[in-house]
Amino acid sequence: MSTGVNVNPEKTLAALEPAALTEITEEAHARRRDHDLARALAAEPARGRARRRPMLLLATGLAAGAVAAGAVVVTGTGDAAPPAPGVSRSADAVDARSFLLASARTAEQAPDTTGAYYYTRMREQRMVRALVDKLSPGEQARKELRPTRKELPFTAFVTTTQDSWHGRSRAGRARTVTGLDREITFSTPADEAAWRKMGSPELEEWSARPQTNDYDFPAAELTPEQRRSEPGELAKLPTDEKALEKVLRGWHRATDRQAIRHDGVPTGTGFAEFVFYEAENLLSGAARPGTRAAFYRLLAAQPGIVMGGRVTDLLGRGGVALAYRSAAGEQRLIIDPATAALLGREAYQPLKRGRAPIRVLAQAMVIEGWVGDIGERP
């Protein structure tokens, strides 16, 4: 077992008034158009260029699920597509705002629970785009050497489950168990045939077998982003929308400062996009119900968030997608319209104009909640 910094993150929610939500979503669907759904994971940027903050892989407590491939027809590219005839972007924004405000009213009514450790089980599907050659220990010591990437002539996906326990306080330990229930799938039979023709190479060595990793957080040097994702820190966040906005603006500035120190340039992420990213932390079971409600209201006030319509997640559950579009692609949150639970997230990378974006990442939490010790489950 190893000691170090947990590099994989996690998330969650509460419950919504079904009648109010049904009314909102039906009105929204009467007005809305189909959207490109999701936000792309940006490829690793070159130094000296603005880098966008990647989607974190450790949720702090979504309610359950990941997103099914092909569940929604997506059209267009990462470029902003013009509105369909008779439908305005302002109507889309009103739909998303109404839905988020309804979610806020329900979130603040959820029970306020706590414990010593926060447990999550997350299912995640990742698109594998390249094989990375491993460096030997001797090669790793030579800083000028970098692993080489070989682009694949096929499209493949690796799906795994991760169990995680994170202590409420900095004095607590943490554990992740990765590589559970691993599956490799392909877009088409031809893709699988191409993989076999290459000798069936291992697509993702780190997830090839289950691994248990124990972390000693008091001894670890955490980045500000990792530290603020700890359950105990999330539980201390304000429950007032204005106070929470002040905290998040501080986080946004700190993230840019860290990027400048690391790359010499800021992230290039605006505040609205940053807030959308932070849903994986703030719509968490580790955050108090009042904090989640305040975050919903803050999210409702941000420009650029649109309704994506009804979708089905990886576990077969129905939800409503909220999408944020940027130059890199789209990201979406999937919310259960009956309970207001955050079911999952998807990220899409744009292709050429006129072709549908391709999904590169889907995440979902299967179960989450406070427990008394590592190894226990809710």
**Residues β-bridged to residue 323:** 306, 332
- Could you tell me the residue ranges of all domains in the chain? 18-371
Average pLDDT over residues 356-368: 88
Between CA 57 and CA 101 the distance in angstroms is 27
Q: How open is the CA angle 182-188-194, to the nearest 5 degrees?
A: 85
CB-neighbour burial class of residue 68 (10 A; exposed 0-12, middle 13-18, buried 19+): buried
Query: Does the pLDDT value for residue 14 go beyond 50?
Result: no
Average pLDDT over residues 195-206: 90
Q: Are 244 and 29 in contact (CB under 8 A)?
A: no
Q: Are 135 and 186 in contact (CB under 8 A)?
A: no
The one-letter code for the residue type at 168 is R
Query: Does the pLDDT value for residue 138 go beyond 90?
Result: no
- Higher-pLDDT residue of 110 and 247 is 247
pLDDT tier at 57, thresholds 50, 70, 90: very low
Between CA 248 and CA 274 the distance in angstroms is 9
Range ranked top by mean pLDDT from 29-33, 39-43, 58-62, 105-109: 105-109
The one-letter code for the residue type at 148 is T
pLDDT for 153-163, tens place per residue?
A: 999 999 999 99
Average pLDDT over residues 210-237: 81
Please state, rounded to an integer, the average pLDDT across all residues of the chain: 74
Per-residue model confidence (pLDDT) at position 356: 74
Neighbours of 149 (CB within 10 A): 12
Per-residue model confidence (pLDDT) at position 23: 35
Phi and psi angles of residue 101, each rounded to the nearest 5 degrees, phi first: -65, -35
Closest CA to 135 of 145, 127, 149, 120: 145
Query: Does the pLDDT value for residue 185 go beyond 70?
Result: yes
Query: Does the pLDDT value for residue 377 go beyond 60?
Result: yes
Would you give the distance in Å from CA 212 to the centre of its chain? 22
**Tokens coding 368:** 């989450």
pLDDT for 285-335, tens place per residue?
A: 789 999 999 999 999 999 999 998 899 888 888 899 999 988 778 899 999
Per-residue model confidence (pLDDT) at position 137: 59
Would you give the distance in Å from CA 87 to the centre of its chain? 29
Per-residue model confidence (pLDDT) at position 204: 87
Closest CA to 72 of 42, 32, 100: 32
92: helix, coil or strand?
A: helix
Residues 6+ apart with CB under 8 A from 61: 10, 11, 12, 118, 120, 284, 285, 286, 365, 368, 369
The one-letter code for the residue type at 364 is A
**Which value, to the nearest 10 degrees, does the dihedral of the CA atoms of residues 60, 63, 64, 68 take?**
-90
Phi and psi angles of residue 269, each rounded to the nearest 5 degrees, phi first: -95, 120
Phi and psi angles of residue 254, each rounded to the nearest 5 degrees, phi first: -65, -40
Between CA 40 and CA 308 the distance in angstroms is 15
- Higher-pLDDT residue of 96 and 357 is 96
Q: Taking phi first (over 0 means left), then psi (-120 to 50 degrees means alpha), and beta for anything else, what does residue 44 get?
A: beta
242: helix, coil or strand?
A: helix
pLDDT tier at 171, thresholds 50, 70, 90: low
pLDDT tier at 339, thresholds 50, 70, 90: confident
